[in-house]
Every structure is written in structure tokens, then in C-alpha cells.
A = this chain, B = another copy of it.
Amino acid sequence: MARLVLKFGGTSVADLERLERVARRIKAEWGQGHELAVIVSAMAGQTNYLVNLVRSASALADLREYDVVVSSGEQVTSGLLAIILQRLGVPARSWMGWQLPVRTTVQHGSARVEAIETAELRRRFKEERQVAVLAGFQGLADDGRTTTLGRGGSDTSAVALAAAIEADRCDIYTDVDGIYTSDPRIVAKARKLERITYEEMLEMASLGAKVLQTRSVELAMKHRLCVQVRSSFEDRPGTLVVDEEEIVEQAVVSGIAHSLDEAKVTLTRIPDRPGIAAAIFGPLADAAINIDMIVQNISLDGEITDMTFTVSRGELDRALMVLEKNRDTLRYESLERDDKVAKVSVVGVGMCSHAGVAQKMFTTLAEKGINIQVITTSEIKISVLVAEDYLELALRALHSAYGLDAD
């Protein structure tokens, strides 16, 4: 008997037929005597539909109201799944974020889970063998209002709940059957990984591998919680996200990630003075816009420089709006945008003990005539920004160069 959290993403619950399949899978686990908490996302497409409604209603919508509208998607799925489980003879009830509650920060639109009250869930596991079906992606802030955790937040709901109820494992059911060395839709020779470390998964997630939300991996790592990414359509093991010591043979590079959700902003000819970065990024942070890569040009005359950074494409317009509002204080000459860029990243925990990993990346891209626009590095990854048109070429070349190709 184990205590498990099962999380089903949007494509796994896209319609009633799929929800039925999900319910049967839950019933099978339940039939083995496991204690189960299930986290569901909104039905595929629903969150986008709701987000678009909000955006059409106002370009700068109150994020508290955004949360009201957008959190309704998970509400619907959790109620429906509880109904289907009951029909199959499995005691189940839905829980909204405000009910448990799932306590979060008050940062609407991208709140963080702070605590989850689980006494009632544990009691129902024991006494009623009840399956808890929690609406993912949502919580309750101290302002008494529903919050959402940011896109992909249901993963975080799942891991946070798994930590709170001290689950033995958290299974993330999704439309892929595991973590690959690269996106198999682009790199035909990509291989599925049996295991991957938290650290690598974290980089992969934050670098655009859309399988798990970054925050959820952080949380899993913090609690040393075993997470399995597996297919909701096939019944075979997925990829386990685990501690480094649980991996016997560690490759230098585990995978090549990429992201098309990048947009580049350049402020030209800004004064090169202390505090200028704070002046630029402060207002963006206030508007809850996340900055990814940043490059400040070498200032030739010591007075004027350029600043380049990337944001997610969905936040580009908002970022530009904020910068235009602050034009007088920032004193840039022009504000340039480019959303035809892609980020390509090489990831591996073995990297920190091996030299030449970066050099191989630069050489490989140079040989294919691919220009690198921005570079950032960390202990276990190197990321470069390239023109979107070169994405596929770059991925395949790097996948081969690091010896990741399947036989």
C-alpha cells in the first residue's frame, strides 16, 4: 500500500472519453489499496480560451480577476472526474484551492504555494478510502481570493500536495511518455531517458522542455520526492526524476532543450551608469514580467551602452508597454523587438567536471553557420539564443555532436 499523487494534464482530460480513461486508471490504482490524491488540469484548450477572454476584455486585466476567470477550468474538470469516479464505484470528491485550502502567496497570476492543509484528506483516505480530486493550478491567498500558480501550475500543485501528504511518489501523467534527450518531434534520433536528476530536469524545464513546470521540479528536489513523468495513453514506465546518486552512469550531457517562447528586447544607447539595470528591470519586475537572458554590451565610450534581454513571447507587449511608460527615466534611443528567436540549451550534471562542453557547442553551431545572439551559462547548462529559422538544424547538430543519437 502506497500513498500516491497522480496528476493528469490538459490533454489527458481533454474530453469525457479521456476523463473516463483517466478514471479507470485511478480505479485500478485504488483497487490495489493505494491512498490517492489526484490533481487535474483544465480540459485541453480551456485555459487558453479563458486567458484569451481575459485579454480581449482588457489588455491590462486585474490579475485577481484573471485568476477568477482562469481558475474555472480546473474547477470543471475536478467536478467531472469526481462524478465519473463515483459512477465507477470509487468514493471521490473534488476540492477547490480555497477549500482545503491550498495557501499561496498573494501574487495573483503566478502565486506560490506556501502550505496545504491535509488533515481532512488524510482522514478521508483512512476512514472512507476516498480519492481526493484537487483542482490544480489554484490556491487561496490571504486576501481571501483565488490565486493561480502560473502556466503549468498544476504540476506544482501535484508536487506540493505530494510533499504535504508525504506521498511515496508523484506520477505526472501527460501526453508524452517521458523525458527525451531532445524534442522527438524535431530530433528523430532523440531517446527516452529512464532517469534524470532533479538538477537536469530543472534546467530542462526552465529551458522550455514543457513536460514539467520549473517550480514543480524545485519543490520535488527540495523534498527529495520521486516524480515520474509518464504517458496517460500508454501503460509503461516513464522517466523517473531522482537524486543524482540514484543514477549509475551519468552522461556528460543528458539532453538538448529548446524554447520558442522567447522574445528579445533591445534598448539602444542608454546611459551606462550604476543603477541603470535596476531602473530597467525594476518596473518590469513590478509588472510581474520575468526576464530570462540578459546581455549588456561593452560600453565603448564609457557613457552609452545597449541592453538586450529576453522575455516570454506572451509578455512581450506588456514588457514594451512598461518600458515605453518609463522612457523618460530610461533615456533609451530606441526600443527594438525580435520575437523570431529560439533558445537552445545543452544540459548535463556531468558538465561541471568536464572541460570543453561549451567549446563543442560553439564549434558545432559555427560549423553550421548559425550565429549566436546571446549566451548564458550555469553549472550544468549552456544556453544560446539563435534565429528561430535555425532551431531544428541547431538541435540535430548538437544532439549528434554530444553523442546522444539513438542507434
Contact = CB atoms under 8 A, between A and B. Distances in A.
Interface of A: 16, 19, 50, 53-54, 56-58, 60-62, 64-69, 71-73, 75-76, 78-80, 82-84, 86-87, 93-94, 96, 98-99, 144-146
How many copies of the chain does the oligomer comprise? 2
Contact of A72 (B57, B62, B76): B76
Contacts of A73: 72
A54 B72 contact: no
Contacts of A64: 93
A54 B83 contact: yes
A94 B64 CA distance: 9
| Interface SS, A side | helix
A87 B65 CA distance: 12
Contacts of A16: 53, 56-57
A98 B69 CA distance: 15
Contacts of A145: 99
Interface centre among A57, A61, A67, A84, by most chain B C-beta atoms within 10 angstroms, is A57
Given A58-B84, A86-B58, A98-B98, A66 B53 contact: no
A83 B83 CA distance: 32
Given A98-B98, A99-B145, A19 B65 contact: no
Nearest to A60: B87
A62 B89 CA distance: 12
A80 B65 CA distance: 7
A401 B134 CA distance: 59
A148 to B, nearest CB: 12
27 contacts: A16-B56, A50-B76, A53-B76, A53-B80, A54-B80, A54-B83, A57-B83, A58-B83, A58-B86, A58-B87, A62-B86, A62-B93, A65-B79, A65-B86, A65-B94, A66-B83, A67-B79, A68-B76, A68-B79, A68-B96, A69-B76, A69-B79, A69-B80, A72-B76, A96-B146, A99-B144, A99-B145
